[in-house]
A and B are shown apart, each in its own frame.
Chain A
Amino acid sequence: MTAATVGRPRRSTAGRVRHVLPLALLTGVVLAIAILPLVWILLTSLTPEAEIIDGPAYVPTQLTVDNYTTVWRRGDFPDLMLNSLIVSGLTVAISLAVAPLAAYSLSRHRYRGRTLVLLLFLSIRMFPFLLMLIPAYIILRDLGLLDNRFGLALAYTTFALPAAVWFMKTFFDAVPTEIEDAARIDGCSRLGVFWRVVLPLSRPGLMATAVFLGIGAWSEYLFALMLTTSRGSRTWPVGVSLLVGEFQLPYGQLAATGVITVVPILIAYAFVGRNMVRGLMGGAMKG
């Protein structure tokens, strides 16, 4: 059934191959479907515009970085990139200032209503995002934070924070309490234990959470489209989507912006990928 079951009852080599081969092929197909579109968009971004218009090209006959330079010279794009970086950074900073404390409390203490609190944090996912967006628009307008990077980060925090709590709880659950008790016997306070023992031990988890939230904020599109309007705060994904309206079909440039969007995500993901999988799966098991 699964590859996991392979090999335990000893089979002949031929039998094993017959059993494993279809699974390996299937895994290959799944991987190809997941990844080939990304390879294709990378190739397209390196193809001269003229060649793209000739029809579907898989491998360009000549490579060019023209698409990238054209995009970058569009003036506002470096600004949009900076805006996105700042908004993502702020979202991560605010969430991580608050979430680990709550997650530690939920991980270590069994009080009444604990499940309820966890469910509350989960239920925020259930909100039609428009029900969040409209009040966010009104609050931010009243605070003068509409079309403002900090305002957008605040709006993102409303859904980043609950996710961060769930994530961090998974990682704190994995830290053995014996170490904390030992530190407390040595005279360390609760906050001290949290700050000097638990947080350093959970650093990989903290990193994974930060990247997860960062990617979410970096990628977000519909909130940003509505809450930002000017070059001073508009984010990169919004800029990318507006590219289509302005030109007819700038395929090469569109592909280039796609690649530029994805590269930071891939780099961040490469650093923490496995821990992130762990955090997500932890949330899954207890969700």
Chain B
Amino acid sequence: MTASEALDASLAPTGVRGRAMAFFETRAWPYLFLVPALVLVGAAILYPLTSGLLLSLHNAELLKPARNGFIGLENYQELLGDQVAWNALVNTIVWVGGGVLIQVTVGIGIALLLDGRYRGVGSVRVLVLLPWFLPSVVVAHMWAMMLDARFGVINDILARVGLLGTDRAWLAEPSTALLTVMVVELWWSVPFFALFLLAGLQGIPDDLVDATRVDGASSAQRFRYLTIPFIQPVIVVATVLQVIRLTNSPDLLNILTGGGPGRVSMTLSLYAYRTAYQKFDFGYASAISVVLLVGLSVFAVVYIRRSGVVQ
């Protein structure tokens, strides 16, 4: 019996009303407190899920209501033969896979830097996190300006350091468009990733660190055999969250390249958004989203299982 439960027992009341109150005080309150949020969130998950699934089986074009109705798996059939979608799938894999790999590497580096115990480390942590709080619109336009071929500072700096001969239109050239947005995304979201990993680093007990030092382990050995295994669960969770975020948020791509030039930077989520926003073809957009959700769920389950974090 915990102290709290003992207290519950000692406050035992009498009478019907008293007992009803007591029931609330000891048993019912946790559930009652939970109900409002659960109802809202449950509705916010179940409703979109079912209606998304249903819509994906319908022809639901808001601009051509005449042809709307149940069409079974036709949207999915169309998706299988859709060259744009296949191309977007490849881009999504590059955008998400490449993005997460870079972010894990850079994120661990920054987290290690932020793990110190020097004066002002608190301020450094707060300042480094700043980019993450910028709205996507500001991030996108700010970088669009900095990356501009003629007026932008990026070309200018690179030219001055001698890394660049001629001005380049980073976002307009097929070979660099996707990569450039990936760099902007890195700048934007790596602070959060680093903070996440920092939380893991701070969970490493000091005695363990001291013990490895007594045993004469080098920094590299300590990193490899203590730090990495210790923060592995945090890396796994952070990776899953970041994969979800990258797969689902086409904000930067929408503003910076719009999927172009041509379709070299069109990802699946951007394709779905454009299908819904420009053509109001909700059925087809839902089908793409359902495919994304299934893909993400499979990834999350397989990845978490295989990483051995959850038995």
Q: CA A104 – CA B35 in complex, angstroms?
A: 12
Inter-chain contact A161/B40, CB cutoff 8 Å: yes
Contacts of B52 in A (CB 8 A): 131, 134-135
Q: Is B308 in the interface zone, CB < 8 Å from A?
A: no
Whether A2 lies near B151 (C-beta < 8 A) is: no
A135 to B272, alpha carbons, bound, how many Å?
14
Contact of A105 among B31, B241, B290 (CB under 8 A): B31
Task: Tell me if A207 counts as interface (CB < 8 A to partner B).
Answer: no
Given A105-B29, A125-B241, A240-B141: A34 in contact with B113 (beta carbons within 8 A): no
- Smallest CB separation, A11 vs chain B (Å): 13
Contact flag A9-B40 (CB < 8 Å), given A4-B116, A128-B247, A131-B52: no
Cβ of B124 and Cβ of A27 under 8 Å apart?
yes
> What does DSSP make chain B's interface, helix, strand, loop or mixed?
helix
In Å, the complex CA distance between A27 and B117 comes to 13
Given A37-B146, A161-B41, A185-B7: A9 in contact with B213 (beta carbons within 8 A): yes
Q: How many angstroms between the C-alpha atoms of A217 and B133 in the bound complex? A: 11
- Expressed in whole angstroms, the minimum distance between the Cβ of A14 and any Cβ of chain B is 18
Among B277-299, those with CB < 8 Å from A are: 277, 282, 285-286, 288-290, 292-293, 296-297
Cβ-defined contact, B124 with A181, below 8 A: no
B24 proximal to A (CB < 8 A): yes
B276's contact among A98, A126, A133, A178, by CB below 8 Å, is which?
Answer: A133
Whether B300 contacts A2 by the Cβ 8 Å rule is: no
Q: How far is the CB of A221 from chain B (nearest CB, A)?
A: 5
User: Do A126 and B127 contact each other (CB < 8 Å), given the known contacts A102-B34, A237-B137, A261-B137?
Assistant: no
Among candidates A9, A121, A241, A285, residue contacting B234 with C-beta atoms closer than 8 Å: A285
Q: Mark B155-193, 1 if CB is under 8 A from A, else 0.
A: 110000000000000000000000000000001000110
For chain A, residues 86 to 138, give those with C-beta under 8 angstroms from any C-beta of chain B: 98-99, 101-102, 104-106, 108-109, 111, 117, 120-121, 123-138
Q: Is B63 an interface residue (CB 8 A)?
A: no
Q: How far is the CA of A266 from the CA of B133 in the complex (A)?
A: 9
Minimum CB–CB distance for A19 against chain B, Å: 10
Nearest Cβ on chain B to A71's Cβ, whole angstroms: 13
> Once bound together, how far apart are the Cα atoms of A53 and B150, in whole Å?
9
A186 to chain B minimum Cβ distance, whole angstroms, is 11
Residue of B nearest to A251 (CB): B145
- Judge whether A215 and B133 touch: CB under 8 Å: yes
The reply to whether A222 and B34 contact each other, CB–CB distance below 8 Å, is no
CA distance A135 to B49 in the complex (A): 9
| Known contacts A117-B34, A185-B7, A221-B137, A124 near B126 by CB under 8 Å | no
B25 → chain A closest CB, angstroms:
5
Minimum CB–CB distance from B40 to chain A (whole Å) comes to 6
The answer to whether B219 has its CB under 8 Å from any CB of chain A is: yes
Interface residues of A in 39-86 (CB under 8 A from B): 40-41, 44, 52-53, 55-56, 58
**Closest A residue to B106 using CB positions:** A30
How many angstroms between the C-alpha atoms of A262 and B121 in the bound complex? 23
Q: How far apart are the CA atoms of A226 and B42 in the complex, in Å?
A: 24
Q: Is the CB of B33 within 8 A of A104?
A: yes
**Contact pattern, B 263-280, Cβ under 8 Å of A = 1, otherwise 0:** 000000100110011000
B145 to chain A: closest residue by CB = A251
Contact residues of A between 229 and 287, Cβ < 8 Å to B: 237-238, 240-241, 244, 249, 251, 254-255, 258, 261-262, 265-266, 269, 273-274, 277, 280-282, 284-285, 287
Of B72-80, B96-104, B195-203, which stretch is located at the interface?
Answer: B195-203
Q: Which residues from A are CB-within-8-Å of B269?
A: 128-130
Known: A56-B151, A157-B40, A281-B199. A131 touches B293 (CB 8 A): yes
Q: Which of A53, A56, A181 contacts B156 (CB 8 A)?
A: A56
A131 touches B48 (CB 8 A): yes
B38 close to chain A: CB less than 8 A: yes
In whole angstroms, what is the CA distance A162 to B42 when docked?
10
**B142 and A111 contacting across the interface, CB-CB below 8 Å:** no
In the complex, what's the smallest C-beta–C-beta distance from B147 to chain A, in angstroms?
A: 11
Report the bound CA distance from A104 to B142 in whole Å: 41
Q: Could you show 16 A-B contacts with beta carbons less than 8 Å apart?
A: A1-B220, A2-B116, A37-B187, A101-B36, A120-B45, A121-B37, A125-B244, A130-B269, A132-B44, A134-B285, A184-B7, A219-B134, A219-B135, A237-B138, A274-B122, A280-B196
Task: Beyond A35-B130, A126-B296, A161-B37, list 18 extra A-B contacts (CB 8 Å).
Answer: A3-B116, A34-B130, A34-B131, A41-B142, A44-B145, A56-B155, A56-B156, A109-B30, A121-B37, A127-B45, A131-B48, A181-B7, A221-B136, A274-B122, A280-B195, A281-B196, A282-B199, A284-B238
Enumerate the 9 nearest inter-chain pairs by beta-carbon distance, A residue then B residue, closest first.
A3-B116, A219-B135, A102-B37, A109-B30, A105-B33, A158-B44, A1-B219, A281-B199, A284-B199
Q: Which residues in B have some Cβ–Cβ distance to A below 8 Å?
A: 3-4, 7, 11, 21, 24-25, 29-31, 33-34, 36-38, 40-42, 44-45, 47-49, 51-52, 55, 110, 112-113, 115-118, 121-122, 124-131, 133-138, 140-143, 145-146, 148, 150-153, 155-156, 187, 191-192, 195-196, 198-203, 209-210, 213, 219-220, 222-223, 227, 234, 237-238, 241, 244-245, 247-251, 254-255, 269, 272-273, 276-277, 282, 285-286, 288-290, 292-293, 296-297, 300
